[in-house]
Structure 1
Amino acid sequence: MQTTFPRLLLGHAQSRPQGAAMREKEYGIWQTTTWADMARLVEALACGLHQAGLRRGEHMVVIGANRPRLYATMLAAQSLGAIPVPLYQDAVGAECVFPINNAEVRFAVVEDQEQVDKMLEIRDRCPQLTHIYYDDPRGLRNYDQPGLGGMEELIAAGRAHAQAHPQLFRDQVEQGQADDVAAMFFTSGTTGNPKGVVHTHHTLINRASVGAKFDKLTSDEEVLAYLPPAWVGQNIFSYAQWLSCGFVVNCPESSATVMIDLKEVGPTYYFAPPRVFEGLLTSVMIRMEDAGAIKRRMFHAF
């Protein structure tokens, strides 16, 4: 499929603007983002990042859990021809230094105070890191370091920039090609420094489309995004397939509520490594040992 992720987004926004694109659980309530909402958010973020100086071919670090606005930030960077570099949210600051310097990253978009503190801690070792934006402002009210700002400010600036330059976003998206680099993922670095692995729009979309065809996925699927966004598998199953198929991606409230959220969502398509299924089996077996005799006999019989 010779297309790009931003073009797929705009296609969904045009064909079914009020359809659900993502859901995020916040304070126990699922909040829905439509395809039209997502397209407007991506445009605002792209224009804001462009005004701040992000340009085609540059790299931008993204650190956090699965959140709609972090997905939108990745799409915004790709819309400008920039390359998102997802890093693991549980990595310590020192582990982020090499990827940031290796990719010559000037922009970082992170989820919350924990990630902001991590970036500020290593900033003196990453002199080119000049812009840090955060999604969740809790605990950051008194932070006034240069180059640090909230995503709300970035979105507001982007909307104003879009009004002044109404064709900027569409023009940038149209310049994108399927063979452009869409993302860079760093290896674990167990035998040396991490290595940056690049993927184009074509490679990610092609693999996602092949998998979707094999599993007969449609836009009616419900998916729970709970694995680290920095893992390439998560990007194929909850990002590339999301945009290829147009199904709904559900983001859990936190890692502690994944099992509760799993029951509420009832995903029709669930991808997990073996250890997750082993954990589910163990949980079921332990709970059945506490069940009544009749339930235990029925469980073991079937």
Structure 2
Amino acid sequence: MPTTKTFKTVPALYNYLVEDYGPNADHAILKHKIDGVYTDISYKQFKEETESFAMGLASLGIKRGDKVAIIGENRPEWVYSDMAILGLGGVDVPLYPISTSETIEFILTNSEAVGIIVSNNFHLNKVLKIRENCKQLRFIIVMNEVELTEPNVFLFKQVQEMGREFAKENENHFQDSIALSHENDLCTFIYTSGTTGEPKGVMLTHKNIMSNVNAVHEIIEIGPSDLFLSFLPLCHVFERMAGYYTALSSGAQIAYAESIEKVASNLIEVKPTIMTAVPRLFERMYSKIIKGVEASPAKKQKIFKWAVEIGTSYKKAIKTEAGVPIMLSLKHKLADKLVFSKVREKTGGRLRFFISGGAALARELGEFFDAVGVLILEGYGLTESSPVIAVNRPYNYKFGTVGQTMPGVEVKIASDGEILAYGPNIMKGYYKNEAETQATIKNGWLHTGDIGVFDAEGFLMITDRKKSLFKTTTGKYIAPTPIENLFLGSKYIDQFIIIGDRRMYITALIVPDYEAIKEYADAHRIHYDDPKELTQMKQIYEMLEKDLTQFQRKLANYERIRKFTILEQPFTIEGGEMTPSMKLKRKVIEKRYTNLIDEMYEGKN
């Protein structure tokens, strides 16, 4: 059964873990790679590491209300830092590891952070570059063992040693601080710029975040036998709430992936039961599966297609009153043995479900994975809502929707279709930005900026971002995301964005899947010296044009793509065309490719 234990603050959760639950636990709390081997961290070590670091921060003068930034990949020291800062009554300010020096400077200055904890030399150098401009910044702490030459820069282990000395004279300091924690205290500032604008510091209280954690436990059964694989950035509120606080509060273990590139191998090594992810991961998994099938003999391709059809029929039958016919059940068992079990092996073989967030999951993708026995539960929320507003349940889910609303959260649809949310998870506001706060929260209701509708069973469907909707010169309103998700079903397409605001018709910029188009070129004896040459070739354009036709049939005439341009370079976070949660920044892309876009409307290809 779901846990009945609820927590008002993160420090309360910490105390429960190290004082009540941990001493009797028969498993580790965290796992991470050391010298190529996953190594356990016990609850005892977790307590010692966190409290010595907390005492070290106290010796550096950290007190209630102080802001301390963290920049680093997912690793145990991130968690020790978070628990230490919050236990002292501080407010932590997480930053993405990809943040530039300019972004770091803005956030450190705006948040008035007095210290920053960085992962390695790379991040240290970025901070040192702008340190003099951050007047409030008193110290920098480095998690890795690096050579230090600058004043007031400390190693993580040095601070822990300072903490042990501090504890000799102030033994109860950390526990006394934890006792003062209150649910309405500020917990964290999470800076978000979304797809437009200057970063805004979202102020979340302990109540905001922990209400979301407690709500998850009301609807999803998670327990000590569960193991999470964590790869989404901990600085993102989705991973922090779902893959960190929710996991630990249920007594589950967390294993940290080595990197995004190694997630596939880490899945097989760790054998997780639950994992949070973004649609991009499933798109790549699907693409890899389909490529593998297409490279197989015709007989195996036929078996795979048959198995997916059986899996789809089986899943539909489960939801009917009549249930699953005996013959279909027998066919499903055979399909599972021949096909589905091999797909599940790629996830480690123990996975109960993925939780998908951050962007829209294509209905077809969810249905495919469900058919082969890999359940993806899509949810919806914003940083401003800590983050989950709605989510599908393992026992009650519907693809193409983001599920039903979370316990304790109210949702209504405004007259213009905008989703409004109200509840204990709604942010306190944007730090030092009253105008944006008042524009976003009105009478306690968060104006999400998303357009949506409820179906007859109370499942929420997201149409698009309010700001993303556009109108063609023919007067037709277009919601780009569903159209883009449709075309992402092509094995030849890696990224896809449509253009058409105040234009006569719809066009698109396409980033091809280079492996797929190389295979096509090789099979059709199309000569090229560099794969990027393929983007300029007439044969590839015509092949893509023909491939798009199968998707165009599903669209209204005014939604169809009239022309497209194939790009050489992918959209990236580093390039500024994507947000850290992998959403495309439309305005940035449209500005960057203005000339190519204009050519499509001048009758040129």
Which bin holds the TM-score, normalised by the shorter protein?
Answer: over 0.9
Matched, 1:105 2:116: no
- Which residue does the alignment assign to 2:58? 50
Is the Cα–Cα contact under 8 Å of residues 74 and 234 in structure 2 kept in the other structure?
yes
TM-superposed CA distance for 1:266, in Å, is 1.7
Matched, 1:249 2:257: no
SS at match of 2:275: coil
Structure 1 Cα separation of the partners of residues 22 and 127 of structure 2: 38
- Which residue does the alignment assign to 1:160? 165
Instruction: Map Cα deviations across residues 120-160 of structure 1 (whole Å, 9 max, x no partner).
Output: 011122122121101112xx32x310111100101111112
Matched, 1:151 2:156: yes
**Which is worse superposed, 49-58 or 249-258?**
249-258
- Which residue does the alignment assign to 1:96? 104
Structure 2 Cα separation of the partners of residues 24 and 3 of structure 1: 28
Structure 2 Cα separation of the partners of residues 285 and 213 of structure 1: 37
Q: Evaluate the alpha carbon distance shift between residue 171 and residue 291 of structure 1 in structure 2; reply closer, same or farther with a 3 A threshold.
A: same
Matched, 1:234 2:239: yes
Which residues in structure 2 correspond to 1:175-186 (within 5 Å)?
A: 175-186=180-191
- Given the alignment, which residue of 18, 34, 52 partners 1:26? 34
Greater helix share, structure number: 1
- Given the alignment, which residue of 206, 213, 219 partners 2:218? 213
Structure 1 Cα separation of the partners of residues 67 and 211 of structure 2: 23
Matched, 1:84 2:89: no
TM-superposed CA distance for 1:11, in Å, is 1.3
Q: Which letter does structure 1 place at the counterpart of 2:48? A: R
Structure 2 Cα separation of the partners of residues 295 and 35 of structure 1: 48
Structure 1 Cα separation of the partners of residues 215 and 76 of structure 2: 25
Structure 2 Cα separation of the partners of residues 216 and 51 of structure 1: 41
Is the Cα–Cα contact under 8 Å of residues 64 and 88 in structure 2 kept in the other structure?
yes
- Given the alignment, which residue of 278, 281, 288 partners 1:283? 288
Q: Which letter does structure 1 place at the counterpart of 2:87? A: S
- Which residue does the alignment assign to 1:199? 204
- Given the alignment, which residue of 66, 78, 82 partners 1:70? 78
Structure 2 gaps, min length 5 = 1-5, 308-605
SS at match of 2:70: strand
Is the Cα–Cα contact under 8 Å of residues 221 and 267 in structure 1 kept in the other structure?
yes
Is the Cα–Cα contact under 8 Å of residues 49 and 80 in structure 2 kept in the other structure?
yes
Is the Cα–Cα contact under 8 Å of residues 189 and 195 in structure 1 kept in the other structure?
no
Larger radius of gyration: 2
Q: Could you say which structure has the greater relative contact order, defined with CA pairs below 8 angstroms and 6 or more residues apart?
A: 1
TM-superposed CA distance for 1:260, in Å, is 0.7
Structure 2 Cα separation of the partners of residues 131 and 82 of structure 1: 15
Structure 1 gaps, min length 5 = none
**Which is worse superposed, 113-122 or 215-224?**
215-224
Structure 2 Cα separation of the partners of residues 242 and 162 of structure 1: 30
CA RMSD across the alignment: 1.6
Instruction: Map Cα deviations across residues 61-111 of structure 1 (whole Å, 9 max, x no partner).
Output: 000111011111010000000011110001111111111101111110011
Structure 2 Cα separation of the partners of residues 172 and 13 of structure 1: 16
Structure 2 Cα separation of the partners of residues 70 and 11 of structure 1: 19
Q: Percent identity?
A: 27
